[in-house]
A and B are shown apart, each in its own frame.
Chain A
């Protein structure tokens, strides 16, 4: 019974995420068209769309990763269906509150909502700030319950040492920790840590809001908390996707299952440390931040690439190189997604070099690299899972005809839309400008080119959606 309920709620997650994704991409295209001066939005409308786009995207790809991990975790341990339902309800309510704050209340402090901007906005409704903070509270509570529930269930079966796969540092371990459990555990700890930082951040916002001027926050502390939360959750959602790949890549390819070895255990234990300290690179341009933390920011950002490349990416190479495997849309999306993740990572490592950051920070280079490892990386990890999930309970296997078309459009649209960002970044064009000053004559044409290619990407997503939604609805409405 439990697995049928899990199957049904997972299909609700898949459909919800894809619908919200389509809306959010559309907002992104409208923003690029406005920057291209093809359409004309007021700055407040542009920036409230920017806020909606950023937060919705982070939220949906986080829950997509969590839903996939929750679904697959059932293979190893019993998970809580109630926690999954709570997360779904809180996510839907939280997103509706967020959209009310941004679309109706015109809240427009961007996904970073850097203190004290939410208190000093012009052109937004007075109630919008409180509703925005409340929406994040609702989302945070729902996700915290879900994450803690999954971690608790892991620890019911595995000891802490086993969940971290420490026994694999010795020869011939008696208990094997599956890579999926290890990565999920490492990721959930990071998720819980950054959600707790979000709780502290929100409490400090509320304290100032309700103290009516008697309590004032420290801007540097608030910025550190914001990026610890924001950077970490954006990174962890990628790792949720990697947990899915470790579990499914070999399976859908018809190859032996990946096993935890000493170097896999070592890599992921170190990943936890690096991912929790890399966020300092967001504060390089705050020279009052202690220098030691700035250096840690660059070192952690560089070192994070070692376990990623040496273990995960190399494992994919080993699995594929000169090996006859069954290619399907699922593992093709995983494989292309890994390439996108690597290329976005290269852009990120370049930007995380302090001496480069001084000429790249808050230019279009930033959306360039994070859109690469999200739109062409993490999103493809989740789409790969969605496709695999939708075909699990379907007898109709006539689904492959869209594979080539979907992938071709995804690649053309994705690469074109990203290059417009990279060239813009190298041309010193600022990010988050509703329209560009005349100093940057190439900015508007590049934005229009970006919007055009993003539309091709959107068409690929629409084809993908129409390819799988019926199968997901069938799972949802099948008799239990």
Chain B
């Protein structure tokens, strides 16, 4: 493993000191002079025409300063992508799910705003609603959007090779259907916004966003003002996990209310707001048909999915594309057919959550992989090694694996977990062990502008300021960008400060999603640092009468061979005083050179990312057969994240992923009945606590991805996608039953065991 001086080290998170003292301020901590409190009124019915909204009583309540409805908002539809702008920010004529924003109130204090919401009278004319996506696709089902026949919001179809021929040539073929429900992103900081308009008509909004530049674009489109008239400023972001990418009614109501009241307005979501509108994991029904040879080699697979997107397109085709992407990595499938539908229903809107669209499919694929292994009498580790993508392979849909450490990851995890000694031997004691694998694209290309930029400014005393548009949502992007810039300039990380999250200040960055930040943003920052190095080294080299390439920056100095010619600060000073280029400003932009948009006209073929991460997870569980209670004892994992830019932060991503994946597999579920969320509290929803934390053992396979910054790949998302499969397969090893829908609750296990027992007796 290559050693660097700053990269790869356990550098503490650069924001951690202000976070442990409580100094770090989030949106709700911001107070502006004259600021009002805003609250949002939400629909209580799932599908209805709005006959009338009477706000007169609310407006008359003392302390109320503004009431807005859809009619106060521009008649402009918003959405993440050009093809998915189908949603009025405050609905006007119709409501399409329970919790949809109808109106908002700004008042002197929270109690008054709450009281005013209760005084708004909404008269509905209820319409037939549909909550099951399969029923929604049938002829005669209630129509939710005028432009979508049979409620099909979006569909994707790929066909590679010849699956029918593949099935005929297979020794064993099986078909299974799996279901995953809706999960909450569950970030700890409620979504919030403060908005203020100035006398020049400029909107400034303080937010908690994974994608401030997307938000600026949406607000600019909504209000028909140039992007220069919208300034989006991120505070510290208290987690995101995909749920803070999109424009929400929190942003729209704060800005509409602030405009109408002529004063700054703060809107902070309550837990009920979050359960109503927080972008959630999309529920998915997946039917997989897979054909294999006797040795377990996959010959063909068809993957058919129906997802429940709620009544809007949201992130559009990305979620369903990602399901297919998850079929393609990390196993070799020579013949593949994919049919995917995003369907409109009157449930809440589905969007992105960590492992977007992929964790669902990995759970299905990995469960079925073990069913196949069992039927053929192959060890689950061996069947995975047989099918694992190797370096240099190109998948049938065009994904190019320049590096892959998957085989080593599987072998290492199997060895360290004691797989051979444990597998298939613990059922009498209720013990089980299971394996699952995954892979993940590092920053897939999903929109036209996905470049990142970075600017470096040098202070008069040679201190470095890096400007990037990336949102540090806790994962530590501010820390890793500090490390890569320090490494290039040969200085300590303490010499560097990072400025992010202000659309008026930093260069463009699409946002913190799709596991793109380390790859794109660090590559842009490296280029900027190299630009700065050149600006410093070239004039100094001529002074020293050496060639620029003879100068090496390390240990805070400029070296010619072993001789320290001068300190970094002296070099900067020399350039600043002597050259007409003394104001040192450097820039870098990055776009991966060999990435393609998966063109619909070409069967969605294309290499969508510069690199792909891999992981293999082995879970060990203990199951109480009487109660169905599962305890996750240990997760042993190997991952290929290329090269860890910061070992401590990389571990943190893996550990957080295990916990979040454990929640989705064992406890969590947004229970929706006739469009109503039945468990809208953190206790009833059941987020994992410290009591649930298993033992964890994560080891990296170092592959030094050529296109990655210092060889790094993504680290934030890929790790989670294989957790549910590993736990599900361990539960099977412990009990002999398969649970084909998440979460795998004690009730489902007990029922399955009872059914199995009956089957055995009959």
> Are A and B subunits of one complex?
no
Instruction: Give the B-binding residues of A (Cβ under 8 A).
Output: none
